[in-house]
Amino acid sequence: MSLPPIVYCPTDVPLKPAPINPHWVRVGTPEARNALLSRSSDGTASTILWDCTAGEFVWHYDIDETIYFLEGSAIIGDATTTPRRFVAGDVLFLPKGAVANWHVESYVKKVAFCLRPQPKLFGLAIRGAAFAKRMLGGRAAPAPTLSLGA
């Protein structure tokens, strides 16, 4: 499936319930919702709009996720990192395998850029093919230089 060159993703879309795993909830009854905004043609990357009400929970990441916080705040840390408050405008990266402790004081809304990492050998092959394509395809002609005087 081929995607158009530009895909517009509005963030004023309705969100659907996306319950947090009940075994992960530590305090309160946080209610999460989300909406899929975009997905890559190969299905390995997606953009998700997500929000959540107050509560504390642990989240186990089975993907790489880059978060851009839109509204509210959350205090996030892990077993080795001091918890930090993230607010609108902040960015956080959580790699596959991370286990993060979330404390949403009242409400938080984020855009999540998610990527399913491929095996390293597969990624190396893709980068090698792209490099070969660049080398075999040639490069664009250099920009002309301007000479002053003749």
Domain limits of the chain? 16-134
Give the Cα separation of 41 and 8 in Å (integer).
15
Q: Is 18 exposed, middle or buried (0-12, 13-18, 19+ CB in 10 A)?
A: middle
Q: What is the pTM of this model?
A: 0.77
CATH fold group of domain 16-134:
Jelly Rolls (2.60.120)
CA atoms in the 13 A half-sphere facing the CB of 84 = 8
Q: What is the mean pLDDT of residues 2-22?
A: 88
Give the Cα separation of 54 and 95 in Å (integer).
24
What does the pLDDT look like over 29-38, one tens digit per residue?
A: 999 999 999 9
Q: How confident is the model at residue 125 (pLDDT cuts 50, 70, 90)?
A: low
DSSP line for 22-65? TTTEEES---EEEEEEEE-TTSSEEEEEEEEEEEEEEEE-SSEE
The chain-wide mean pLDDT, for the chain, equals 88
